[in-house]
Amino acid sequence: MSYEKDFSKTDYSSPSDEPPTRLGAPNDLATYHEHDVFGHEENHQIKYKTLSWQLVAVLMIAEIVSNGMLSLPSSLAVVGIVPGLILIVILGIFATYTSWLLVKFKLRHPEVHNMGDAGLILFGRFGRELLAFGTVVFAVFATGGQLLAGQIALGALSNNKLCLMLYTGIFAVPTLIFSAPRTLDRLSWLSVPSVISIIVAGIVGMVGAGLHPTPDRTISVTVNTNFYAAFVSITNPVFSYAGHFMFFILVSEMKRPQDAMKAAYVLQGFATTFYAVFAIVIYIYIGDGVLSPAFSSLDSVWMKAAYGVAIPNFLIAGSLYAHTASKLFFVRLFRNSRHLHSHTFTGWFTWVVLILLVNAAAFVLAVGVPIFSYLIGIAASLFASWYTYGIAGAFWLHDSYHDGDGVRTWRRKWFQTTLAMATFVAGAFICVAGTYVTIKAIVEAYNSGIVGRPFSC
- Give per-residue pLDDT as tens, 114-160: 999 999 999 999 999 999 999 999 999 999 999 999 999 999 999 88
Rg from Cα positions in the chain: 22
pLDDT band per the 50, 70, 90 thresholds, residue 195: very high
**CA 437, 442, 446, 451 torsion: positive or negative?**
positive
- What's residue 12's pLDDT? 35
Mean pLDDT of the chain: 89
3-state secondary structure 230-297: HHHHHHHHHHHCCCHHHHHHHHHCECCHHHHHHHHHHHHHHHHHHHHHHHHHHHHHHHHHCCCCHHHH
| pTM metric for this prediction | 0.90
Euclidean distance between CA atoms 383 and 116, whole angstroms: 12
CA 105 to CA 173: how far, in whole Å? 36
Alpha helix (H) residue ranges in 66-183: 72-79, 81-108, 115-123, 125-157, 164-178
How many H-runs (helices) and E-runs (strands) does the chain carry?
19, 0
Contact 363, 174 (CB under 8 A): no
Answer whether residue 170 shows pLDDT above 90.
yes
Structural domains of the chain, with CATH: 53-226+245-377 (1.20.1730.10)
Q: How confident is the model at residue 57 (pLDDT cuts 50, 70, 90)?
A: very high
Query: pLDDT value at position 213?
Result: 95
Task: Read off the amino acid at residue 430.
Answer: I
Q: Which residues touch 382 (CB under 8 Å, ≥6 apart)? A: 134, 431, 435
Per-residue pLDDT reduced to its tens digit, 76-95 = 999 999 999 999 999 999 99
